[in-house]
A and B are shown apart, each in its own frame.
Chain A
């Protein structure tokens, strides 16, 4: 696990068409890496973890990825 691997993981997430996520932060830890960020569906979170496992076998992955809430706003911003 070095800088190059970190860059490869980041690019794989952005460039793989089944994932296409640019908003995931890759944090290096001992012994592996943590994926952080928000995605639009639980399916995408699973796909991200699956892709990284598949392309980088042997690297331990923890995912801390949330699904962005999509509720109606409770208040408006008044722009006077």
Chain B
């Protein structure tokens, strides 16, 4: 069994320092890895990222993150990445990482993702340059996510995004803003590989559970949605390929 802890949208700044720490101290008892689903900072300054590093660093389990839209706001992404990297937090954007848990290789592929909407109600690559750029941005990141998932050499695959790959986990948000909360292209990318679980954030008023058209379980772990320091998902052994199971 692999135990995956996850939370998104912690929006850390100095005023939040220490709030997650008591729960994080006991995280290694509950989980083998922690995924951070973006919007780690309040508006993307290096100073806030240092607070994230203080709060989520040195946990004793691997911490794997993607950035969110808030982490981009102040155009300090290199500084943000450096601060997180210094704390040993792996930040994914179109790539992947593999961690070993009891001999099972857990592969996590991640992108921030972007908007565009969902099948039948989505933006198209047509018209003004701004509109085409918007839709192309999502298409490009989704392609990178799909490639990263398919290229993973591991036993269990997890997709980590900030934006949602499905509309299910947006239930509770106003319908009018769905196109700004995610894109079906992310779901299609997740379905292009044998993904065991997809985790995202961003939709603060959304709901916890959903499924891609291909049947992959999706969980919205935005902090205001889960209302706890992190959620834990236990992936049972039958999600683990037989080659890995025999290696345990």
A interface residues (Cβ-Cβ under 8 A, vs B)? 17, 20, 22-23, 25, 37-38, 40-41, 43-44, 68-73, 75-80
Contacts and interface: CB of A to CB of B under 8 A. Distances in A.
Contacts, number: 81
B227 A69 contact: yes
Interface string B207-248: 000000000010100011001111111111011000000000
Interface of B: 3, 10-12, 15-16, 19-20, 22-23, 26-27, 30, 42-43, 70, 73, 196-197, 204-205, 217, 219, 223-224, 227-236, 238-239
A48 to B, nearest CB: 13
Given A68-B227, A77-B234, A44 B15 contact: yes
B3 A76 contact: yes
6 contacts: A37-B204, A69-B228, A70-B19, A70-B20, A72-B22, A80-B236
Main secondary structure of the interface of B (DSSP, over half): mixed
Contacts of A17: 43
> Most chain-B CB neighbours within 10 Å: which of A77, A79, A80?
A79
Main secondary structure of the interface of A (DSSP, over half): loop
A40 B10 contact: yes
A70 B230 CA distance: 8
A17 B230 CA distance: 26
A79 B23 contact: no
B234 A23 contact: no
A77 B233 contact: yes
A72 B15 contact: no
B19 A79 contact: no
Nearest to B228: A73
A4 B30 CA distance: 48
A51 to B, nearest CB: 14
A59 B16 CA distance: 29
Given A23-B205, A69-B228, A77-B219, 18 more contacts: A37-B204, A40-B223, A41-B15, A43-B15, A44-B15, A68-B227, A71-B23, A71-B229, A72-B229, A73-B23, A73-B228, A73-B230, A73-B231, A76-B231, A76-B234, A77-B232, A77-B233, A78-B236
Given A40-B19, A41-B16, A70 B232 contact: no
A59 to B, nearest CB: 22
B233 A72 contact: no
Nearest to A43: B15
